[in-house]
Structure 1
């Protein structure tokens, strides 16, 4: 080919190309190389009159020095006759591949250097082998099917698919994956996958499948289309993961929730009703007892009231345990607090002269983010302030502080207080959960509910004595 024609062909190529002689000097370049040199000051394309390889070595750029070493090896006849170097970034911040090859011509040795953008790099056989090896070693089952063939058969399956299903790859290729289905496979789930395939849409399902030995297992299947170079869908890739253990755990949890619901029904209906009867008759006796029996009567009524409140706490706790992701909504805080304060006054009307609750006549109208059982938070704290108070005259103060994003409710009592060493333990936060040395189920419920609402609860000291239970909640009307 004439020299002029060769130069013209090289100038049409978008890659930057240069030819280096044995002295390390550039003796030929194409138009792309020359244009880049004129517009950029790049470590691999220096604007220098000296030998190219010497300039690279003096550049101070570690990658340029490495490239110079490889090119020098080719001019000296050492190492492989060709190769490439992955330059991390060019002047435009893009990845770059430096390719080089030795050429002998008329007894002289030359090296051809080509700069190719990493994105434009064509896939080599080595690249394809690496990707296939990665798929073979993947921990999840992988299949590729070809919808252009009759019945959309599998054309590739990896080793993990064989481990999960028990079917050797040789028995899988050429078949549609429906062979994994069996008697108890849900037909609607199968239909959903079929619709996705027909419409070239991705889909993820959990389906009951069967291994080669007939054993059932739960398979989490994700199917997605693969597109060709023209952007058209050509194949489907499938990912399979054995989720049997998780499904069994979910089924066990569902059974436990059903049992918990039954327990809740018994506790809320039978025990609560019986305690209501006992408290009702106790109220009838209150005016008939003499002073000598008043102390014993108060102890009985307090215990009965406490039992009734515990049944409500168990019911509320069952709602929490039975809901993995409760839906939060704006709840009027002032209404909840007034209702709970009145409930406590009513429940303890047999000793009303000894209980003084203040603060409910001046509550700010504000909503917080919670659920319908927010009342359990403040009901349990108020009950706790009464049950664990050793004073003849119980004093409870309720205060609400509103900020732009949060609301803090402080419920202060004049009881014995809570030592610093137990201010976390009373909520049952220890490793033993409900067995930790807390004040009971009620405060454990408070802690869990407030955390569910995205808030927090803590205890401060009251002055001159007692404890202050602080509940911070997110405002329901905050932007």
Structure 2
């Protein structure tokens, strides 16, 4: 039976129209679409759509005939690439996320979905790839998680402050009464009682600061000569170090500038950094606190003789609730709170590893600030300069 030429012609025109529509649709797609030919050596690209060119900055002429590894760079995770290659070798679909690079060298987080396309009748053996730049999406996701953490911290801090203040009040009252008795002035344990008064009072101030930080308000501090502040804060912070850790101090006695911070805030920052150093050294070693003036900035550095901070933790060390300690041995709030307080001063808190070993926390504090905005860490973060 002969086919009707009119029907054949109509079917052919419909197929051509559909093929044209598909080409237009693929180029109009908001995601990158590529096709690699596995029948040829090195599986070169034989098709890329317009969105791929817009996202990567490459033209079709620059990429057709090349393997898509030109998108990789120094930040690309080789283990992820190996997983992709293994899936392709087995002709299996695979979904991965990896750092890719645009023609300008700018990195972006690439969500890549690959699927095999095989048809023995048409002699097709290819892979179709769908790629999306999810850098902004992941950043927004991280910001949302950070906001949720800070909201949870605010709720925790509110209840924590209330309960702790109830316990601190009798400690402060009764130890103050003991310290005020005339016979206590000459008692051999007078210094210990005064330490109880000082530390309990500082703890009360710190609970207020934690609550203030968690609620992201506005910190207002009255500038005073800085030389009046460090001695008291350092003295109380040093009491947080275990007996096996020695503390050396350099340059603090020479300070005479004005800076809008108070003793409770400085104590909280130094205390948290000191405790972190002591924990890193397992309670045995030395801590060095140094202060220098650089133009209109006070630079405080706290270094230890511990093992330093592993590179994989550099980007997370100041995150709220992040801790490497076993459950029950750390809240993950110490360095995050210190970071937030320093940022509230308009300064920065960073960390790096020392060449001779150990970690060094560096605090930059701008001088003569009367008010500063409190904020939360929105990643990139807290940042590490290592």
| Structure with larger RCO (C-alpha < 8 A, sep 6+) | 2
For the pair shown, which has the larger CA radius of gyration, 1 or 2? 1
Same fold, judged at TM 0.5 (above): no
TM-score, scaled relative to structure 2: 0.41
